[in-house]
Amino acid sequence: MSFIEEIKRRRTFGIVSHPDAGKTTLTEKLLLFGGAIQEAGAVKSNKIKKGATSDFMEIERQRGISVATSVLAFEYKGIKINILDTPGHKDFAEDTFRTLTAVDSVIVVIDVAKGVEEQTEKLVKVCRMRNIPIIVFINKLDREGKDAFDLLDEVEQKLGLKVSPLSFPIGMGYDFKGIYNLWEKNVNLFTEESKTDIADTIEISNLQDKKLNTLIGDTAANTLREELELVEGIYPKFDKNEYLEGQLQPVFFGSALNNFGVRELLDCFINIAPVPRAKQSEERLVEPAENKFTGFVFKIHANMDPNHRDRLAFIKIVSGTFKRNTPYLHVRLGKKLKFSSPNAFFAEKKQIVDVSYPGDIVGLHDTGNFKIGDTLTEGEKINYKGIPSFSPEHFRYINNADPLKSKQLYKGIDQLMDEGVAQLFTLEMNGRKVIGTVGALQYEVIQYRLEHEYGAKCTYENLNVHKACWVETEDETTEEFKAFKRVKQRFLAKDKQGQMVFLADSAFSLQMTQQKYPSITFHYTSEFH
């Protein structure tokens, strides 16, 4: 297969949702479609379910929360599909934001009873900022939920999307009879059989066809006709280009648990979802079809195998082909690195691969060379943009609880920060270290990992900080800046890159500081250049 054909057959996407909407279940069912072809008997077993969750870390197993993202790849109808799993828990939102820099499109899962929830709103906002194409999957139709039209309204209003339903439910909950597929013009009936097998669909290209009445009864058939007429009247017709530009979002209904409506979603997905897209670097736009390899690190995963203390850096390939045992330039370090065992991901397994293509994710064994956002190339000095740090929400001093293990502690902190678990700030005044996180849970993760992976012990101490702001000034020699540094010394710190950060203790003090030092700009994200 040619290089261009390889690119064209790849679809790399993420599934995002509020916890419990059914993201994991949907992921599993999608994997079954890929796996079912080779192992039809395995469909009913629990095997894939176990592998599909990204529970590589002990702590994750303990908590039952997906603390890490991983990659699940499979083939379906000749298309290579890469699913980047994202943690739904809000404390790991930054992990999800970073993963979104590596996807070409997303599927948003919404619980039919709960409607649009908080995490979904936040994540979709990030997708919309980047114009990522979105497909909406409304899940759990086997349960009583909100009226389909009300839900579509909610999706439009809360998520700011312009929806175009491509399937529509026939009843719901106890009365759920199936779905009408507007994309394929057929009916898929929800029966006992459809729960264990992938049901056959029945073509109904003309809605007036009496066959519809026979299938679902007169009342349901008439209601469906009326509803579909409404759908046609209210919602824009699906347009692939608008979808690809992030301006229109197709909606599917189904029940992931019952593997219902999932085939329809997948078949449409492989038709419309974008092939690997060009990516902007600080220097130029890079096209996937360029001959030379480029890629960037969007995720670092530590200790996937508890017996080996290595890290795996996840690289999204943007252009060219990535080959095993070939020296590539690590742009930030300015040195060439070679990888003898790059991993590719197939369903729940890792495998060493010789060649990978744009859209693919490779996992590279790392001994501490990589940080989130690093770029690898064949020699060109480019840097991919778009993985900024945001101001954390929680701040605590970190103290060493075992003086004999201080080296291990600092090494551990250093590596965990490179993985993007949290952010480290070092106070200018006394050199004390402050850990900033998005959620309180990360403190426990850090403590646990420092102990189990590095043999170090830490304690925390509360610190009252409202926001961390990255400080920018055109001229560091002005009297104003010098005065700022003197007066606010207690609140100044350096981030891991050595950038100056102002740790404001309240919204009020931040506002006062901004007024008092107008030539200084205070940024909520580390990327403002």
As given in the structure block, the two tokens for residue 460 are: 């925390």
State how far Cα 324 lies from the chain centre: 26
422 class by beta-carbon count within 10 Å (0-12 exposed, 13-18 middle, 19+ buried): buried
CB 440 to ligand G4P: min, Å? 19
Residue 11: CB minimum distance to ligand G4P, A: 20
Q: Which stretch binds ligand G4P (CB under 6 A): 14-22, 165-173, 346-354, 506-514?
A: 14-22
Question: At closest approach, how far in Å is the CB of 137 from ligand G4P?
Answer: 10
**How far apart are CB 260 and ligand G4P at their closest, in Å?**
7
- Pairing assessment for the beta strands 79-85 and 10-17 based on DSSP bridges: parallel
Using rule CB under 6 A, residue 22 touches ligand G4P: yes
> Footprint of ligand G4P on residues 65-124 (CB under 6 A)?
88
The binder of ligand G4P chosen from 16, 21, 79, 504 (CB under 6 A): 21
The two tokens of residue 72 are 């699940």
Q: Which stretch binds ligand G4P (CB under 6 A): 20-28, 294-302, 427-435, 514-522?
A: 20-28
Q: How far is CA 302 from the centre of its chain?
A: 18
Closest by CA position to 294, among listed 369, 374, 389? 374
251-290 footprint of ligand G4P as x/- string (CB under 6 A): ----xxxx--------------------------------
Specify the 3-state DSSP secondary structure of 110. Answer: strand
Taking the least distance from each CB to ligand G4P, the nearer of 36 and 110 is 110
- Residue 231 backbone phi and psi in degrees, to 5: -55, -45
> Residue 212: which of 184, 237, 177 has the closest Cα?
177
From 15-23, 118-126, 451-459, 461-469, span contacting ligand G4P (CB under 6 A): 15-23
Residue 64 or 431 with smaller CB distance to ligand G4P? 64
CB 364 within 8 A of CB 399: no
What is the DSSP annotation of 257-272? TTTBSHHHHHHHHHHH
Contact residues for 136 (Cβ-Cβ < 8 A; gap 6+): 107, 108, 110, 155, 161, 163, 249, 250, 251, 252
Pick the closer one to ligand G4P by CB: 25 or 249.
Answer: 25
CA distance 53 to 348: 9
Ranges assigned E (strand) in 52-139:
71-76, 79-85, 105-111, 134-139
Query: Residue 294, SS3?
Result: strand
From candidates 9, 10, 11, 23, binder to ligand G4P by CB under 6 A: 23
Beta strands in 383-478 (DSSP E): 394-400, 423-427, 433-437, 458-462, 467-472
Q: How far is the CB of 19 from ligand G4P (least distance, A)?
A: 4
Q: Considering only residues 7, 9, 10, 24, which one is a binding residue for ligand G4P as defined by CB under 6 A?
A: 24
Shortest separation between residue 90's beta carbon and ligand G4P, angstroms:
12
> What sign results for the dihedral spanned by CA atoms 143, 146, 152, 157?
negative
Residue 155: which residues within 8 A CB-CB, separation 6 or more? 110, 116, 136, 161, 163, 249, 251
| Smaller CB separation from ligand G4P, 24 or 408 | 24
Candidate segments 18-26, 56-64, 182-190, 198-206, binder of ligand G4P by CB under 6 A: 18-26
Query: Least distance from C-beta 46 to ligand G4P, angstroms?
Result: 10
Instruction: Quickly count: other Cβ atoms within 10 Å of residue 37's Cβ.
Output: 12
Q: Which stretch binds ligand G4P (CB under 6 A): 22-30, 346-354, 435-443, 496-504?
A: 22-30
Q: Taking the complex as a whole, how short is the minimal distance between the CB of residue 28 and ligand G4P, in angstroms?
A: 8
Pick 138 or 520: Cβ nearer ligand G4P: 138
Q: Which of residues 123-152 bind ligand G4P (CB under 6 A)?
A: 139-140, 142-143
* Complex with ligand G4P: residue 11 or 140, whichever CB lies closer: 140
Which of 368, 162, 335 is CA-nearest to residue 248?
Answer: 162
User: Mask of contacts with ligand G4P, 146-185, x by CB under 6 A?
Assistant: ----------------------------------------
Site for ligand G4P in 199-218 (CB under 6 A): none
DSSP state of 398: E
**Nearer to ligand G4P among residue 257 and residue 500 (C-beta):** 257
Determine the Cα–Cα distance for residues 492 and 495; give it in Å rounded to an integer: 10
Measuring CA to CA, which residue among 162, 145, 136, 161 is closest to residue 234?
162
**With CB under 6 A, what is the number of residues at the site for ligand G4P?**
17
| β-pair partners for 226 | none
Secondary structure E strands in 23-146: 71-76, 79-85, 105-111, 134-139
Piece of the chain touching ligand G4P by CB under 6 A; list 16-24, 217-225, 332-340, 508-516? 16-24
Instruction: Considering the complex, state which of residue 95 and residue 366 has its C-beta at the smaller distance from ligand G4P.
Output: 95
513 binds ligand G4P (CB under 6 A): no
Q: Is 17 in the site for ligand G4P (CB under 6 A)?
A: yes
Decide whether 169 or 288 has the Cβ nearer to ligand G4P: 169
Binding site for ligand G4P (CB under 6 A): 17, 19-25, 88, 139-140, 142-143, 255-258
